Amino acid sequence: MGKRMFDAGEQAWPEEAPFHTPVFVVTHEKREPWQRAGGTTFHFVNDGIEPALDQAREVAGDRDVRIAGGGATILEYVNAGLIDEFAIALSPVLFGSGIRLFEGVDAGRVALEPVRAEPTRRVTHLTYAVRER
């Protein structure tokens, strides 16, 4: 998870944070782990995206590792070739400003291959595979 997403959620999440698993926050800030009820512990990794991913993989074992936003963090992982597949929940709700997810993708190295689109009345779930060009 990126630091901006963590900062936005830190005040908004309930006492029992919604993840129920270790969460590795990519940040420049040094901070002790923050344990929440329900099994969520936020670990703050300040030496880059790859060490954060390595720590998450170690904890996950044979399970999937999920990378959450913000957009800048996801972009770093996409451009580093460290994401196999990603999902977007697209909803026609305007929240104000933000970071455009695909702005800055290295299109000379990365191709996005549509895998699935699941529309509902309120949201469309899009899944893409990330491939090297």
Q: What is the pLDDT of residues 74-89, one digit of tens each?
A: 889 988 989 999 898 8
In percent, how much of the chain has pLDDT > 70?
98
Domains, in order of start, for the chain:
3-132 (3.40.430.10)
Determine the Cα–Cα distance for residues 42 and 20; give it in Å rounded to an integer. 10
H-run or E-run covering 127: strand 124-132
Residue 10: DSSP 8-state: H
Output the pLDDT for position 64. Answer: 92
Determine the Cα–Cα distance for residues 9 and 60; give it in Å rounded to an integer. 23
Question: Is residue 47 within 8 Å of residue 57, measured between CB atoms?
Answer: no
